[in-house]
């Protein structure tokens, strides 16, 4: 039986964050669940078994981060055992078709939000000799066309994790990442809707140029089988409780295969990816 921990989870309204919050509250931990709306806070509290305290937290707003971490500090007497940076957004689409404001929003949430919350929590984590677990993605290790913005954001999270692990090691704070492939959560439905909206704003000629790429990710978002949420929960649990947590947890069979592809020479790997994309393109109609 593990001792009771204080845990702050960002992006806990839905998906991975919500599942982690409910699971660890049921396990008897003191969970602070970051949500952006009062409605989400009420819904989460209604489902919880055990101690769960929804905290209004928009990771892109410095004042919100400051208020949320101050509330956690007051409720934990300044000691935070675990920070789980989970808040994130995703969409696919060629860079040429991605508006600046959508790119900025993705980077604000996935990258700057992770930096901001982590920095604000460091005094509490140092005092507790705590742990930081960043929910990354296999896209932080394996670059695929059509996910350029998302890939860039998750590579940044992996870089932050690696550097911060060494930076905080002398202070007794352990840092790791959890890198899943596609997980069965609503994020992919949201991503598909966002991608469709972005594509509709461009000319048929530009859409035709990227038709194969667009079709590939639409099929991936809607039809590819995802890894169960339980596998992510198990990885996070190990990262929380292990005396020597791994630097990175790669979650799901698809993610592990993509990680292995990184061992190949670059031109082999890229040829395989491009061939897979071309095979998925819709066939031209015969007259």
Q: What are phi and psi of 242, to 5 degrees?
A: -65, 140
Contact in structure between 120 and 63 (CB atoms under 8 Å): no
Q: Could you give the CA distance from residue 44 to residue 54 in angstroms, rounded to a whole number?
A: 7
Q: Could you give the CA distance from residue 235 to residue 251 in angstroms, rounded to a whole number?
A: 7
Which DSSP category does 41 fall into?
H
Q: What are phi and psi of 133, to 5 degrees?
A: -120, 115
Question: Taking the C-alpha atoms of 78, 80, 84 and 86 in order, what is their torsion angle to the nearest 10 degrees?
Answer: -20
Contact in structure between 122 and 145 (CB atoms under 8 Å): no
- Which residue numbers are catalytic? 150
Give the angle 66-85-6 at the CA atoms, nearest 5°: 75
């Amino acid at each position: 039986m593990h001792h009771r921990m204080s845990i702050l989870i960002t992006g806990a309204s839905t998906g991975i964050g919500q599942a982690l919050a409910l699971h660890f509250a049921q396990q008897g931990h003191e969970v602070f669940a970051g949500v952006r709306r009062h409605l989400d806070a009420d819904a989460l509290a209604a489902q919880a078994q055990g101690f769960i305290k929804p905290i209004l937290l928009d990771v892109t707003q410095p004042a919100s981060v400051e208020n949320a971490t101050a509330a956690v500090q007051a409720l934990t007497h300044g000691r935070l055992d675990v920070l789980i940076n989970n808040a994130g957004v995703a969409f696919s689409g060629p860079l040429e078709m991605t508006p600046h404001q959508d790119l900025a929003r993705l980077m604000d949430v996935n990258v700057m939000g992770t930096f901001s919350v982590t920095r604000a929590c460091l005094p509490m984590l140092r005092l507790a000799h705590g742990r930081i677990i960043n929910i990354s993605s296999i896209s932080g290790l394996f670059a695929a066309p059509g996910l350029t913005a998302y890939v860039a954001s998750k590579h940044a999270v992996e870089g932050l994790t690696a550097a911060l692990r060494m930076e905080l090691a002398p202070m007794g704070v352990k840092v790791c990442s959890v890198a899943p492939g596609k997980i069965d959560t609503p994020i992919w439905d949201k991503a598909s809707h966002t991608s469709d909206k972005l594509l509709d704003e461009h000319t048929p000629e530009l859409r035709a140029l990227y038709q194969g790429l667009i079709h590939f990710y639409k099929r991936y978002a809607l039809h590819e089988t995802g890894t169960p949420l339980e596998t992510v929960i198990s990885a996070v649990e190990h990262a929380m409780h292990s005396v020597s947590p791994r630097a990175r947890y790669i979650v799901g069979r698809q993610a592990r295969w993509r990680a292995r592809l990184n061992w190949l020479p670059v031109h082999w790997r890229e040829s395989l990816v491009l061939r897979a994309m071309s095979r998925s393109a819709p066939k031209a109609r015969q007259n």
